C-alpha cells in the first residue's frame, strides 16, 4: 500500500522549488480488473489411461501425454479467479531558470495481483531520470534514459552528446550501463532471474553512434550499437541499422534494415512505396524480410528460429470527407524449418487479409475492421466494431464489440470469443477521466476439459495535469 503515496511524496519535492522557473507534468492513476478461469495441469497414472505410446486419449476425448512408467498429463479449466492492478505514473519536466537546463522524471508505482499480473511485485521503478543542457549546436543529457532509434528502444543509465553544428547533419554518441528492455533493470536483476532458468551472470555496458542527414527530398539515418559484458569477456549484442526516406510527392519511398553483426543476419529489411493517385485514392506496396533477434546471453537463439519474407499491398479510398475504406493483403513465406517428413512436409506460406471502414461526421464516428491470419495448421480471424459521440469538447462516449475465432497450431478443437462494452473519456479543467468496461464470452469446440465462460474486464484512469508552459518546443528532427 505504500506505493499509493508516491505522487504525494514526489510532487512537493520536485515541483516546489522549481515552480517559479517552470514545471510541467501530469500524474496518472490507472486501475484494472478482470476475472478469468485458470488453467491447471491434471494427471493420471499411466496404467489408468487406455492405449499405448506417449500420446493417448481419455474416454471423453482429451488428448494426454504419457511418460513411460510414470503419469499421463493434460491441461483443463480450473476455478474462477480475478486479478487487479493499480498503477501510479508521474511525469514531470522542470526548468530551474538556467538557460538551456532542464530535467525530466518518469516514475511508476504499482501493486496488485502479484501471482498473475506481470511485474506487480516490483512496487516502484524510475522509468526516466535525466538532465538536459542545450545550446544551439549541441545537447548534453545525463541520467536514466531510453534510446529511440532504428534498432528500437534501449534503456540505459549514462550520457548522450548530440552535435547539430554540421547544418543538415546530426551526430550523437551515447554510452552507459545497459538495462534489460521492458523490465528496466540491470541484466543481473531479479526480474530476469525469476523468469529465465539461465539468466546472465554479468551486467552490460551500452555504447554507440547515430547520425542523421537530410537534403532536399532525401533523409536518412545510420546507427551502430554494442552491448558488452561488464567484465569485457564477451558480447551481449552488436547491431547496425540504416533508414532512408525519399519524399517525392505523390510518391514516397522508405527503406530500412537492421543487421546483427554477431550472427551476420539481417533481422529486418523493408522497402515501402506509397503513391497518392488523387486526393481520394492512395496505394501502398511493401516487401519485408524478418529474422528473429536474440541477445547472445539467452539460450533461445540456439533453437534456430526461422524468419520469413513477406509482400503486402494496401489500397485506401476516401470517397467523401469523413469516410475511409481500406483493404490490404499480405503473403508470407517462411524460411526452411528442417522439420516435417517426406509424406507430411511443413508448409511454408501464410496469408493476412484485412479490411477497415471508418466514418466520422460532426459529433459522430464509427469504424469496423476485419483481419485474418491463415497459416500452416493455424487460423485466426477477428471482427472489431466501434461507434461513439462527442458531447462538446470535453466528453466522449462510445461502445465497442468484437468477435474472433482461433485454431491453434495442430491442436484439437478451436476457440471463439465474443464481447461488447462501453468506453468514455472526459475532461474538466486540468483533470481528465477515461475508462472502458466489457463482457466477453469464451466458447470452445472439440476441447474436452475446457468449459465455456463469461469474463468481465474493466479499466479506469484518472489524469491530473499541472504546471506552466515553458518556451521549449521539440521537433522530430533532433
In order of 156, 159, 161, the CA distances from 173 in angstroms are: 13, 8, 5
Closest CA to 14 of 3, 25, 1, 4: 25
Please compute Rg for the chain using Cα positions. 26
pLDDT at 268: 95
Residue 380, all three cell numbers: 485466426
Correct CATH for 2-37+64-467 of 2.40.170, 1.10.760, 1.10.3470, 2.60.40: 2.40.170
Residue 104 has pLDDT above 50, yes or no: yes
Where along the chain do its domains lie?
2-37+64-467
pLDDT at 120: 65
Closest CA to 477 of 101, 212, 176: 212
Cα angle at 253 between 252 and 257, to 5 degrees?
Answer: 145
Q: Bigger pLDDT: 429 or 6?
A: 429
pLDDT at 308: 92
Task: Please check whether residue 465 is in contact with residue 90, taking contact to mean a CB–CB distance below 8 angstroms.
Answer: no
Residue 79, all three cell numbers: 476455478
Annotate 365-424 with DSSP letters as a single string. Answer: EEEEEEEEEEETTEEEEEEEEEEEEEETTTEEEEEEEEEEEEE-TT-SSEEEEEEEEEEE
What are the pLDDT digits (tens) for 429-461? 999 999 999 999 988 887 777 788 899 999 999
CA 231 to chain centre: 31
Q: DSSP character for 2?
A: G
Residue 340, all three cell numbers: 516435417
> Beta strands of 150-280 (E only): which ranges?
152-166, 169-178, 204-215, 218-229, 235-248, 251-260, 265-276
The overall average pLDDT reported for the chain is 87
Q: What's the CA gap between 203 and 33, in Å, rounded?
A: 36
The model's pTM is 0.82
Mean pLDDT of the 84-112 span: 91
Closest CA to 225 of 284, 290, 314, 154: 154
Share of the chain above pLDDT 90, in %: 58
As to burial, measured by CB atoms within 10 angstroms (0-12 exposed, 13-18 middle, 19+ buried), residue 354 is middle
Q: Bigger pLDDT: 302 or 433?
A: 433
Mean pLDDT of the 310-335 span: 95
Residue 41 has pLDDT above 70, yes or no: yes
In order of 43, 96, 116, 224, 399, the CA distances from 235 in angstroms are: 43, 40, 33, 14, 50
pLDDT at 142: 97
Share of the chain above pLDDT 70, in %: 88
Read off the pLDDT band of 302 (50, 70, 90).
Answer: confident
What are the pLDDT digits (tens) for 337-383? 776 666 666 778 889 999 999 999 999 999 999 999 888 767 789 99
Amino acid at each position: 500500500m505504500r506505493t499509493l503515496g508516491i505522487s504525494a511524496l514526489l510532487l512537493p519535492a520536485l515541483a516546489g522549488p522549481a515552480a517559479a522557473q517552470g514545471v510541467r507534468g501530469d500524474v496518472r492513476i490507472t486501475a484494472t480488473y478482470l476475472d478469468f478461469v485458470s488453467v491447471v495441469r491434471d494427471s493420471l497414472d499411466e496404467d489408468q489411461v487406455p492405449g499405448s505410446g506417449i500420446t493417448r486419449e481419455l474416454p471423453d476425448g482429451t488428448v494426454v501425454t504419457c511418460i513411460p512408467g510414470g503419469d499421463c498429463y493434460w491441461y483443463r479449466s480450473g476455478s474462477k479467479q480475478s486479478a487487479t492492478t493499480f498503477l501510479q505514473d508521474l511525469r514531470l519536466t522542470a526548468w530551474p531558470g538556467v538557460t538551456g537546463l532542464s530535467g525530466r522524471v518518469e516514475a511508476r508505482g504499482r501493486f496488485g495481483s502479484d501471482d498473475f499480473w506481470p511485474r506487480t511485485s516490483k512496487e516502484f521503478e524510475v522509468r526516466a531520470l535525466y538532465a538536459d543542457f542545450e545550446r544551439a549546436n549541441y545537447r548534453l543529457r545525463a541520467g536514466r534514459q531510453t534510446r529511440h532509434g532504428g534498432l528500437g528502444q534501449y534503456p540505459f543509465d549514462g550520457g548522450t552528446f548530440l552535435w547539430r553544428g554540421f547544418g543538415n547533419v546530426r551526430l550523437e554518441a551515447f554510452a552507459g550501463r545497459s538495462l534489460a528492455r521492458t523490465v528496466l533493470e540491470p541484466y543481473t536483476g531479479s526480474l530476469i532471474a525469476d523468469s529465465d532458468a539461465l539468466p546472465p551472470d554479468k551486467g552490460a555496458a551500452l555504447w554507440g553512434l547515430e547520425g542523421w542527414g537530410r537534403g532536399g527530398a532525401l533523409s536518412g539515418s545510420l546507427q551502430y550499437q554494442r552491448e558488452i559484458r561488464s567484465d569485457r569477456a564477451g558480447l551481449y549484442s552488436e547491431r547496425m541499422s540504416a533508414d532512408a526516406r525519399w519524399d517525392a510527392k505523390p510518391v514516397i519511398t522508405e527503406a530500412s534494415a537492421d543487421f546483427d553483426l554477431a550472427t551476420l543476419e539481417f533481422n529486418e529489411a523493408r522497402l515501402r512505396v506509397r503513391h497518392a493517385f488523387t486526393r481520394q485514392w492512395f496505394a501502398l506496396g511493401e516487401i519485408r524480410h524478418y529474422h528473429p533477434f536474440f541477445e547472445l546471453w539467452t539460450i533461445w537463439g540456439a533453437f534456430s528460429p526461422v524468419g520469413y519474407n513477406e509482400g503486402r499491398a494496401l489500397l485506401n479510398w476516401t470517397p467523401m470527407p469523413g469516410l475511409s475504406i481500406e483493404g490490404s493483403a499480405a503473403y508470407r513465406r517462411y524460411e526452411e524449418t528442417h522439420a516435417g517428413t517426406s509424406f507430411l512436409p511443413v508448409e511454408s506460406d501464410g496469408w493476412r487479409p484485412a479490411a477497415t471502414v471508418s466514418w466520422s461526421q460532426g459529433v459522430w464516428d464509427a469504424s469496423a475492421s476485419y483481419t485474418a491470419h491463415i497459416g500452416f495448421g493455424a487460423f485466426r480471424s477477428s471482427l472489431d466494431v466501434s461507434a461513439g459521440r462527442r458531447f462538446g469538447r470535453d466528453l466522449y462516449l462510445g461502445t465497442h464489440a468484437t468477435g474472433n475465432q482461433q485454431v491453434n497450431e495442430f491442436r484439437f478443437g478451436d476457440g471463439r470469443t465474443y464481447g461488447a462494452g462501453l468506453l468514455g473519456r472526459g475532461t474538466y479543467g486540468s483533470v481528465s477521466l477515461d475508462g472502458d468496461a466489457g463482457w466477453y464470452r469464451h466458447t470452445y469446440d472439440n476441447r474436452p476439459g475446457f468449459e465455456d465462460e463469461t469474463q468481465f474486464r474493466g479499466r479506469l484512469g484518472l489524469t491530473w495535469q499541472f504546471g506552466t508552459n515553458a518556451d521549449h518546443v521539440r521537433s522530430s528532427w533532433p
